[in-house]
Structure 1
């Protein structure tokens, strides 16, 4: 973490689309392998995505996604930049700020990107997340399973009022979205579990789908 407070994360990520019929079995098996994350294991995530007037991020004409993220009804908001420098590899940079600081007091590096690339809010994506984190096979692993994924058009750098127990907007997908983040190699236990459930890695972007559907 440097003087501006950003956090840099690097690692690998796999995504899977999980039928609702397989969700209970997946949650049960994952719960036996990993503990819930330190924030309680289940909460609503609200992500406010920014893009250029001609949607250059959506069109992949500029690298990565810019967003503000809030967890349930907490007063902390994270300004984030997420990019994939190569297939399967993820780089994330973020800074924390308080909800009351929006929209005036964004982190300097995030504000610089807004001005340089003419970024503005486009879509608000919300979903309920089950999150697990721990060590498997010597790898630090974070596993999330998202459902009730919804999106709405958003043009303000403010989060709308919601009670933190459900999402806001139009449904984006049936079933659930599984994301597994790891440092070097996917642990054998998770490789076996996804194979037994008939899950295959897929490319799915909440933001891109929100642009296309909401």
Structure 2
């Protein structure tokens, strides 16, 4: 199994600040962070330090996980299956991303493609012998949340990511995401190219600042220098919103989903 991963996992519990920025400001921002940040160890392998991310999001029939975010619930989570390419030797990551008040935690386990197929078709019982204990715990956690919500595949979300990590000192991670797209996916298709992909409109480039309990002073300087205004940028919700605008409710209804009315 090839080692291919987003080192975001190194900050399993952190604060996240999200912004929409002008694409024209990205070169100056790269220059600003250069003394403090370096391309993460996966991004450094790719041209321009940019790599693809594709996540299959799962939700319950009532789109309860979507509704948690729309409603601004303080304790919420997402279920997703993430890949970084379509290579048969590259891993598949099963992730639970939780938010409790302002703290974000991410737990995930990496499986081979064959192991992922076993999990998707057989569940967690009877085949995980030999996996690391942390992977078993994270997979059991994923399966528990999936069972509690009766989660099933709904949509794939993909984008290009430019990722940086701190050169030293307090752990900090900065990501710059572009080319956001989505595809209605009602099965376990994890492909980056298969299906009907649609651009998800975003009014700029998505910037995320991720850090632990300490907020380095240079991050505050960055926010001031570029006039950054924090806002929610939930890629999964944005994708579902847009597929509903496309008139895809019928496909969701046929697959057993229904969308409760939003509250004002």
Bigger drift between 101-110 and 123-132 goes to 101-110
Unaligned runs of 5+ in 2: 1-8, 121-138, 244-264
* CA distances 1:106-132 after superposition (whole Å, capped 9, x unpaired): 533322332232101111110000000
What residue number does 1:82 align with? 97
Q: CA deviation at 1:7?
A: 8.9
Supply the RMSD in Å over aligned alpha carbons.
2.4
Q: Judge conservation of contact 2:11–2:211 (CA < 8 Å) in 1.
A: no
Alignment match, 2:58: 50
Deviation at 1:133, TM superposition (A): 0.7
- Other-structure match for 2:203: 174
Indicate whether 1:141 and 2:172 are aligned: yes
Separation in 1, partners of 2:23, 2:10: 34
CA contact (8 A) 1:103 1:158 kept: no
CA–CA distance in 1 between the matches of 2:10 and 2:187?
25
TM-score when normalising by structure 1: 0.86
Corresponding residue to 1:210 among 232, 239, 251: 239
SS in structure 2 of the partner of residue 102 of structure 1: helix
Q: Larger Cα Rg: Structure 1 or Structure 2?
A: 2
TM-score (structure 2 length as normaliser): 0.70
1:157 is matched with which residue? 188
Structure 1 residue 117 and structure 2 residue 171: aligned? no
SS in 2 for 1:113: helix
Which structure has greater strand proportion? 1
- 2:24 partner SS: helix
> 1:12 and 1:160 mapped to 2: Cα distance?
30
CA displacement 1:35-77 (0-9 Å, x = unmatched): 1001023200101111001100011178210101111345111
Residue 13 of structure 1 deviates from its aligned partner by 1.1
Counterpart position of 2:230: 201
User: Separation in 1 of the partners of 2:10 and 2:41?
Assistant: 18
* Greater displacement, 186-195 / 101-110: 101-110
Tell me, which stretches of 5 or more residues in structure 1 are unaligned?
1-5
User: Aligned partners of 1:109 and 1:199: how far apart in 2?
Assistant: 36
Paired residues of 1:144 and 1:179 also in contact (CA < 8 A):
yes
State yes or no: 1:34 paired with 2:48: no
Matched pairs, number: 204
Superimposed CA distance per residue, residues 137-196 of structure 1 (whole angstroms, 9 cap, x where no aligned partner): x31111101001111111112212539xxxx43223132111111111221112211211
